[in-house]
Structure formats: C-alpha cells, structure tokens
C-alpha cells in the first residue's frame, strides 16, 4: 500500500467522525500492512521475523476488535518492520 493510499484511508476514517483513539489505531494497522508490503513480506514472513504467530499477525492486520495487540506485539512488529515508535 502506498503512502498516498494510506493517507486517503486515514482521511476517509477522519471523515467518518470516529473517536480519535480508534482513528489512531486504524492508522497504525494500515501502516503495519503498508510497511510489510513495502518489504515484500507475506504475513507468514512477518510472523517469523517478529516471533508472533501467523494467525496473530492476521488478526492484528484485520483489526479484530476484541483481540487488540499487546504492547509487546506492537514493539516486535515495529522492530521487525523498522518502524520508529514514539509515545506521546
């Protein structure tokens, strides 16, 4: 997914007037998918490199609401994908 496509998705989300925390979560999920695809990795490859189960990566990428990622999973994914993490 290109950066432009992610921006379009994020703008569409903002136009739906959803709560800010949900908006940020959706943006995060899309950025994970974008970073994985930019590296040319499958979900299986990301799972292996992150030491997270393949089904779990699928659940995170498809935003299964009751199965939100743990902080440790987020950090593992970001490290594998070379995504810098900052906490505000």
Residue 6 CA to residue 27 CA, distance in Å, equals 8
- The domain ranges of the chain are 3-80
Cβ neighbours of residue 46 closer than 8 Å, sequence gap 6 or more? 36, 52, 57, 77, 80, 81
Among 38, 37, 57, smallest CA distance to 47 is for 57
For position 5, what pLDDT does the model report?
66
Instruction: Give pLDDT tens digits for 13-34.
Output: 666 666 777 777 778 888 899 9
For position 4, what pLDDT does the model report?
65
CATH 1.25.40.10 corresponds to the domain 3-80: no
Q: Give the predicted TM-score (pTM) of the model.
A: 0.72
What DSSP letter does each residue of 42-77 carry, written as one string?
-HHHHHHHHT--HHHHHHHHTT-GGGPPPHHHHHHH
Instruction: Give pLDDT tens digits for 25-72.
Output: 778 888 899 999 999 999 999 999 999 999 999 998 888 767 888 989
């Amino acid at each position: 997914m290109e950066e432009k496509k992610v921006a379009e998705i994020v703008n569409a989300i903002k136009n739906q007037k959803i709560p800010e925390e949900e908006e940020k979560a959706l943006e995060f999920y899309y950025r994970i998918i974008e970073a994985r695809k930019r590296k040319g990795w499958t979900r299986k490859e990301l799972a292996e490199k992150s030491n997270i189960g393949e089904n779990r990566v699928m659940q995170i990428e498809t935003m299964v609401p009751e199965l939100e990622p743990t902080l440790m999973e987020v950090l593992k994914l970001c490290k594998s994908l070379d995504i810098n993490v900052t906490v505000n």
